[in-house]
Amino acid sequence: MSLDSMTQDFDKAVNDLFDPVATWLSELVFYAVPVAGAELPLIVAWLVVAGLVFTVWFGVVQFRKFRVAVQVVRGKHDESDSPGEVNHFQALTAAVSGTVGLGNIAGVGVAVSVGGAGATFWMVLCGLLGMATKFVEVTLGVKYREEHADGTVSGGPMHYLPKGLAERFGRNGKIFGSVLAALASIMILFFGLFGGNLFQINQSYAQITSTTGGEDSWIGSSAGALFFGVLIAALVGVVLIGGIKSIASVTSRLVPAMAIMYVLACLTVILWNFGQVPSAFVDIFEGAFAPEGVAGGIIGALVMGFQRAAFSNEAGLGSAPIAHSAVKTKHPASEGLVALLEPFIDTVIVCTMTALTIVIARPDSFTSAGEEVEGVTVTSDAFATVLPWFPNLLTVAVLLFAFSTVLTWGYYGLKAWSHLFGKSKASETTFKIIYSIFAVAGSLLSLETLISMADAVLFMLAVFNIIGLYLLAPVVKRELNSFLAHVRGDTSAADKSTGADESAPAPH
């Protein structure tokens, strides 16, 4: 038996193993109710309502305190003796590396190919609401983080759920929080494997295949897919050993450069077709409210937009607080404000750029909504309409985006694993080996299977995390007021628009 036939059998075995699991999880998690002649998954509404509630609760903090957030990132309110491992900028880039990536490139391709141009509108709306949710969860992540004897820091829902609920509600709160923390840790592990790891490998492999001769090339064969998976797995395993400082030092250099290059390429395509920009916006707005040909009409476009936005910016999942908790600060809300920039960068800017590029360029691979699930290839083809050579450069960017995301989610998964199985060298090494080995399967699974599995565990994670966010929102309110008072004392009139959020009593 040849090597290629053996790898083909392995490829088929991997897909046969995961396909039924993905189908079962999707049916379980995305239970839908009929709305306006379409099916609306309750789990999607849960995530969106949270963003709306926190936006109102904190007085539209994502807009009113945007300038202060930028000041914090620039180090204006830093204190040299603050505990933590990395500065505000490094914490932001480490977290953004887990969000700005293939969710913006491939995920938007999926949204537009299935939900039509109108899905873009709902993606942006979800991103704006998600800024408030991200602020809440990251503030909690820093407040209840755990500082270890070796100087490292751990944070995230596995810490703020039991600690925060115990502080507010006593023994019963601690028990309930511990259950939520365990469930959230399990979901972080699974989403890290399927969304943060396998999906990234899958789409980076798809991009390489599309620019090297397709399935007829050696890299497009089953043997090539296996080789690619093994190579990435080895690289991931090596870098994970360095921990958050190693990841932050890499991502703080890679992410800004990649994001700038990618946005410039999007702008090139958009400006090249500048005359079509108005009609593209018309397509997006008309498609958002009257999408013809989209399965489920308006609700279909809305659901697809919200799903892909949630997958991309991860607001409400409790993942970003894990990276942000390592920041050097004495004021938890300072990093919460920094974190609200994530969905803005990730969804409002980068995802919108990608969607506009696809809608304007309309490459051959972009057929009509609902016909076929397309990912990174439809985005790549959109660039090729103006920059024939760019898919090759995009391949490099995709690899770097994917690698940084896999690393960041490896760190998230490690913290969840340590919470469940203990923080020891043997335990952590076991996780790193498992996580790296899983990367091999990324190039072998189908995109539909990975999307289904990643979405299912992602939204389950949001259920457990957001319950805790609602209960701990008054704590965040106090932390915000405390930091704003610090800012006012640190600079003259640094923030004059504090508004009602500083005087209103915290809701209970």
Structure tokens at 318: 């409790």
pLDDT at 179: 93
Name residues whose C-beta falls within 8 Å of residue 220's C-beta, 6 or more positions apart in sequence. Answer: 209, 212, 213, 214
Structure tokens at 175: 């028990």
d(CA 199, CA 466): 24
d(CA 307, CA 373): 14
pLDDT at 476: 94
Name residues whose C-beta falls within 8 Å of residue 331's C-beta, 6 or more positions apart in sequence. Answer: 77, 479, 482, 483, 486
Mapped onto helix, strand or coil, the DSSP state of residue 154 is strand
**Topology (CATH) of 12-77+86-496:** Amino acid/polyamine transporter I (1.20.1740)
Structure tokens at 174: 């601690």
Residues 185-235: tens digit of each pLDDT: 998 888 887 777 777 777 777 777 777 766 666 666 667 777 777 777 777
pLDDT at 29: 65
Residue stretches of the chain with pLDDT short of 50: 3, 6-7, 10, 293, 295-296, 368-373, 491-508
Mapped onto helix, strand or coil, the DSSP state of residue 449 is helix
Pick from 165, 349, 348: nearest CA to 264: 349
Sequence spans of domains, the chain: 12-77+86-496
Structure tokens at 403: 């690698």
d(CA 230, CA 443): 10
Structure tokens at 485: 């008072």
d(CA 277, CA 282): 9
Question: How many angstroms separate the Cα of 12 from the Cα of each of 195, 426, 444, 446?
Answer: 20, 33, 8, 10
